Structures are given as structure tokens and as C-alpha cells.
Amino acid sequence: MVETRLKPLKAGLIGAGIQASLTPAMHMREGSAQGFAYDYEMIDLNQRGLSPDSLPDLLNQAERHGLSGLNITHPCKQLVIPYLDELSDEARALGAVNTVVLKNGRRYGHNTDWWGFAESFRRGLPDADLEAAVQIGAGGAGVATAYAILSLGLKNLTVFDLDPKRATHLAQALSALFPEAAITASGDLAAAMEPASGLIHATPTGMAKYPGIPLAPELLSPRHWVAEIVYFPLETELLKTAKLRGCRVLNGGGMAVFQAVGAFSLFTGCAPDAHRMMRHFDNLTSGSRPSEDMQ
């Protein structure tokens, strides 16, 4: 009988409060299916009593221990950049990295968050009207989702955030990247929703720690599609309300899966089975497990 040896592979996730993340499970299950002995390490800053100041040491340790790459999540997606050798075009444009490939003594920063949202949207709302949309949230996740929807051809984007300066900064940065689109910041959510065909929600509202809905329900109408980034729970209060008001909806599960699909490909050089990873994600989320992390 011939013994089959699995190919060794090591990777990890750096972030704070990441114990509920499903990224490690998705990577290891897909790795096993593709013949890897996949060791995926959870590097939780909170549990280890560390701060983002430890990033240089953690990157050095990862290289010494032979990791192929690292996923990066809150609060390190911007802070990790100075310690990298090269950035992909998308990571440079977004100013955020969620995937670091460690290869031949060099560190390559990528961003698969934006592609994860774009791929989820393309598959989940294939016929969505991309004339005009509103995005609530201009933080790290909002940068990725806005970049994604504009890459898909959105013509008009209005950004709303509780911090008006942050919304303005994002609108200005995106306008330079997508000069063919009209991108503005607004403090009047009701007025912005009136002509819009869709809504992207890119804040933690709706998670167990942040219950609620990010806008007045009466601002939603059947003409709107609604795309969510929160995936615990998969059906947030926003999505429940939007469904009741006749909207087409997209939950945050696809973004979670496809950012992992992109990272897996970068770490391994192998094309993952996206459908298999989605099935595994569905199995993992069939319970009521809470999450503090969107990676």
C-alpha cells in the first residue's frame, strides 16, 4: 500500500478579538480537500496581551516559522503596510491589506476584501441596477465595498457615515480612482436614498454586539437592492426589514467566503473550489454562533 503524504502548509490570521472568525476553518477544510496538511494559526492580539505595535515581531516570527502567508484583520489592515515590501495595485489604492504572502524573504500585501464583495455581488445580485447607490459606512470595510461596486460599474455613489469627514475623505479618494463615476458624501441619508437604486451597508450594526438597523425602515422601497457585509447573523435586522419591504437582498456570507477564496489562492498557488468553501461556510453558520470579526 502506497502512503500518501500531504503537502505541508502554514498560514495564520492576525487581529484583535478574532476567536469567532471562520477564516481558519474555511482555509483548513479546503486545504485538506486539496491535499495539504494545513496548519492555520490564530494570532489574537487580545488573547496574547499584544497591541498592533507587535506587528514587526509577529511578521518576523511568521517568516521564521515557515508560514506561507497571513490574513490581516482589524485593527491591523492599514498598520501592517509599512512592514511590507510590495503592494498589489488594489491594496495600494485601498490603503488596506488583508492578505500578506511570505515568499523568498519578501512580504507581498494584497486585498481580497474588495474582490470578495464584488464576486458575491456579481453572483448574488447579477441583474442589479447600478445607476445609483448609497453606502452607509466609510471605514475599512466601506473602502473595500465602495471600490468593489465602482469596479462593477456603478455610476453614482453617495457615501454616508456618522463621521462626515471620513465620508468626505472616502468620496474624494474614490473620485480620483474612478473619475467616470459621480461620488459624493452626504449627511442627509433620506435625501440620498430617494433617487438610489440600491444600498450597501458597511458598518457593524446588526451584529450581536451592535443590534439594530442602520436607517429608518421607511427609506427602503421595493425598487432598492440591499447588500450587507455582516454575516453573524446571516439575516440581520436590516435584511429582514428590507425583505418585508420588497427589496432584493444579499447577505454578508458571500463576501466572507470569497475573500477567503482569494487568500487561499494567493497562499497556495492553487485554485480553491468556491462552491465547496461556500457549502462549508453554510455548515459553520447553520448554528447561532456570534462573531466579533468580519474577516
Spatial separation of the C-alpha atoms in residues 200 and 142, rounded to whole Å = 9
**Catalytic entry in 7, 77, 240, 243:** 77
CB contact at 8 A, 73 and 98:
yes
Nearest to 93 by CA among 137, 162, 146: 146
CB contact at 8 A, 132 and 156:
yes
Number of C-beta neighbours around residue 166 at 10 A: 17
Q: CA–CA distance from 184 to each of 134, 145, 224 (Å)?
A: 10, 15, 19
Phi and psi at residue 136, to the nearest 5°: -100, 115
What is the spatial order of strands in the sheet that 156-160 belongs to?
182-185, 156-160, 132-136, 198-201, 225-228, 248-250
Residue type, 246: G
3-class DSSP state for residue 56? helix
Q: Is 165 a catalytic residue?
A: no
Which residues are tagged catalytic?
Answer: 77
